[in-house]
């Protein structure tokens, strides 16, 4: 993620499905379909990505400083890898938010 962020690329859809391992055990990030090139202090308000991995400021349609939403999603990803489930679940989208 640091490699992307230092090149001003915001992924915005970090999740288990978008993490691959190559033949040598190296980690690869895929699916840059909702990614965005941003400037260092750019503020964004677009909501995109997978709901269970969204940072609170994204799910509430608030303005956010780009790179922090990827860091939040990495935390959710780590939780999923350790626990086998997402930390926040609900029957409806409103319940999840």
Known catalytic residues are 13
- Which residue(s) pair with 44 in the sheet? 64
Residues 6 or more apart in contact with residue 91 via CB below 8 angstroms: none
CA distances, 81 to each of 19, 77, 86 (Å): 11, 6, 9
Query: Are 12 and 48 in contact, with CB atoms under 8 Å apart?
Result: yes
Query: Are 38 and 66 in contact, with CB atoms under 8 Å apart?
Result: yes
């Amino acid at each position: 993620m640091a490699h992307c962020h230092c090149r001003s690329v915001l992924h915005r859809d970090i999740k288990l499905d978008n993490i691959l391992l190559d033949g040598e055990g190296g980690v690869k990030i895929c699916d840059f379909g909702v990614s965005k090139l941003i400037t260092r202090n750019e503020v964004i308000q677009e909501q995109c990505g997978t709901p269970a991995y969204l940072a609170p400021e994204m799910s509430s349609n608030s303005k956010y400083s780009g790179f922090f939403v990827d860091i939040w999603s990495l935390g959710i990803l780590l939780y999923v890898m350790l626990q086998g489930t997402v930390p926040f679940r609900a029957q409806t989208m409103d319940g999840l938010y």
